[in-house]
């Protein structure tokens, strides 16, 4: 099967491969390794840039070595270069559902911090940006916690790579993001009494165990800065503690 090429305006490189780059690599390797009789067959076509992109895209869809991220960035560039930002026109020309094109564009637009957290560009797929977007869509502290966790995971992935260890799987990376998005539970500080604190370190309540006859003393600050949910969680922990030790 012949590769598809088109002429260029560059005398030093008169042809551009549109489809057939893997065959070109294979033939070049064979020629360099004592098999000069192999020939690289080409079909010279007159193609404009948009047609060349569509033909190249068709070949890339069948290639396992082309990652979703590579395709996503290719689509994002083509959207601006060939389709004037019109996703509907692009999806029709590529013969793809518009929703699928949007998913690739979302991947192309994903922050580099999140991409780095997956450790390998081939590990991240078009399904992952939707999950991440759900976790950070409200903004504020939850989104910031997820971004901080992404940086931590990226550093851990880099360390694992340096040490020659297996990288964290995408499912584990997403699980770390989801856990980071959850509000932190009140912290328990044990001294002579037990103090339950809010996420910002402010005191919610303090309780002191006494004898069974005297029971337990629970003290709350005159003015609470904790949120209602944090106070409810603190009392839930206190109740669990009472029943576990009753």
3-state secondary structure 27-88: HHHHHHCCCCCCCCCEEECCCCHHHHHHHHHHHHHCCCCCCHHHHHHHHHHHHHHCCCCCHH
Is the separation of the CB atoms in 115 and 109 below 8 Å? no
Q: Residue 191: its pLDDT value, please?
A: 44
Average pLDDT, whole number, for the chain? 85
Whether the predicted pLDDT of 46 surpasses 90: no
Is the separation of the CB atoms in 165 and 119 below 8 Å? no
Whether the predicted pLDDT of 114 surpasses 70: yes
Mean pLDDT of 220-239: 87
Of 237, 225, 222, 141, which Cα lies nearest the Cα of 189?
A: 237
Q: pLDDT tens, 119-137?
A: 998 999 999 999 999 999 8
Q: Residue 237: its pLDDT value, please?
A: 86
Q: pLDDT tens, 216-226?
A: 788 888 888 88
Q: Which residue has the higher pLDDT, 79 or 63?
A: 79
Q: Residue 9: its pLDDT value, please?
A: 77
At 243, is the secondary structure helix, strand, or coil? helix
- The DSSP annotation for 130-175 comes to HHHHHHHTT-HHHHHHHHHHHHHHHHHHHHHHHTTPPPPPHHHHHH
- Phi and psi of 100, rounded to 5°? -65, -45
Of 238, 234, 237, which Cα lies nearest the Cα of 224?
A: 234
Q: pLDDT tens, 149-162?
A: 999 999 999 999 99
| % of the chain surpassing 70 pLDDT | 88
**The pair of three-digit structure tokens given for residue 117, joined into one six-digit string:** 């957290």
Percentage helix, strand, coil for the chain under 3-state DSSP, each rounded to 5 = 50, 15, 35
Predicted TM-score (pTM) of this structure = 0.63
Whether the predicted pLDDT of 190 surpasses 60: no
Q: Residue 192: its pLDDT value, please?
A: 56
Beta bridge partners of 203: 197
Whether the predicted pLDDT of 77 surpasses 70: yes
Domain boundary assignment for the chain: 1-47, 187-244
Q: Residue 210: its pLDDT value, please?
A: 61
Of 70, 174, 169, 183, which Cα lies nearest the Cα of 132?
A: 174
Q: Residue 20: its pLDDT value, please?
A: 64
Mean pLDDT of 140-148: 93
Of 210, 146, 218, 216, which Cα lies nearest the Cα of 175?
A: 146
Is the separation of the CB atoms in 47 and 40 below 8 Å? no
Whether the predicted pLDDT of 31 surpasses 90: no
How far apart are alpha carbons 173 and 60 in whole angstroms? Answer: 27
Q: Residue 246: its pLDDT value, please?
A: 60
CA dist 53 → 94, 127, 132 (Å): 9, 24, 30
* CA 218 to chain CA mean position, Å: 45
Contacts of 184 (CB under 8 A, 6+ apart): 199
């Amino acid at each position: 099967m012949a590769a598809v090429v088109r002429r260029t305006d560059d005398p030093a490189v008169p042809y551009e491969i549109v489809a057939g780059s893997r065959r070109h690599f294979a033939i070049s390797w064979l020629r360099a390794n004592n098999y000069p009789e192999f020939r690289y067959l080409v079909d010279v076509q007159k193609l404009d840039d948009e047609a060349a992109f569509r033909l190249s895209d068709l070949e890339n869809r069948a290639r396992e070595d082309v990652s979703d991220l590579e395709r996503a960035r290719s689509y994002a560039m083509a959207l601006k270069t060939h389709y004037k930002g019109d996703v509907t026109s692009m999806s029709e020309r590529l013969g793809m559902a518009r929703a699928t094109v949007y998913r690739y564009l979302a991947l192309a637009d994903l922050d580099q911090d999140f991409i780095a957290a997956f450790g390998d560009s081939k590990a991240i797929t078009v399904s992952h940006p939707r999950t991440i977007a759900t976790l950070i869509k409200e903004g504020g502290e939850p989104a910031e916690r997820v971004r901080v966790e992404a940086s931590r995971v990226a550093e851990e992935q880099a360390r694992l790579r340096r040490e020659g260890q297996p990288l964290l799987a995408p499912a584990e990376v997403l699980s770390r993001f989801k856990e980071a998005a959850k509000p932190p539970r009140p912290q328990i500080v044990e001294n002579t009494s037990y103090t339950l604190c809010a996420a910002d370190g402010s005191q919610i309540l303090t309780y002191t165990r006494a004898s069974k006859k005297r029971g337990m003393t629970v003290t709350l600050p005159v003015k609470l800065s904790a949120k209602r949910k944090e106070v409810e969680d603190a009392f839930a922990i206190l109740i669990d503690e009472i029943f576990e030790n009753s």
